[in-house]
Amino acid sequence: MPANIIPPPSIFHMLEKSVGKKVLVILNQAYGFEGKLVAVTYEPSGIWLSNAEAVIFRATIANPIPQIAGREERSEIFVNLNSVQRIEVLHEEE
């Protein structure tokens, strides 16, 4: 590999850019967490969320795209990246 080729950013670099932003972490089709991303850890690989809420998703035959159906306060939480399906960075409403 030539020395002047820069490797693509890892998931950790991409997550570190989002520290301080609100994220939605989806663990499976029915459950996830929403909160402010405050830290990214390498060992064990995971993220820390503050002001977190557990969110429950529901889909119906009429509306197959899962929507948030419920929320539950969780405060501070560590999420292991091995159990994450998707992470969405949410835009702050002005």
- 78: domain CATH number is 2.30.30.100
Residue 91 lies in a domain: no
Residue 3 lies in a domain: no
Q: Please say whether the beta carbons of 46 and 78 come within 8 A.
A: yes
What is the tally of structural domains in the chain?
1
Look up residue 82 and give its two tokens. Answer: 């091995």
Positions in the chain short of pLDDT 70 = 1-2, 93-94
Taking the mean position of all CA atoms in its chain, how far away is CA 71? 15
Residue 93 lies in a domain: no
Q: Taking CA 31 as the corner, what is the angle to CA 25 and CA 36, rounded to the nearest 5 degrees?
A: 30
Q: Is omega for the bond preceding 64 within 30 degrees of 0, making it cis?
A: no
Residue 4 lies in a domain: no
Q: What is the pLDDT of residue 41?
A: 94
Burial 37-73 (b: 16+ CB within 10 A, else e): beebeeeeebbbbeebbbbebeeeeeeeebeeeeeee
Q: What is the pLDDT of residue 92?
A: 72
Q: What is the pLDDT of residue 93?
A: 65
Q: Domain containing 37: what range?
A: 11-85
Residue 90 lies in a domain: no
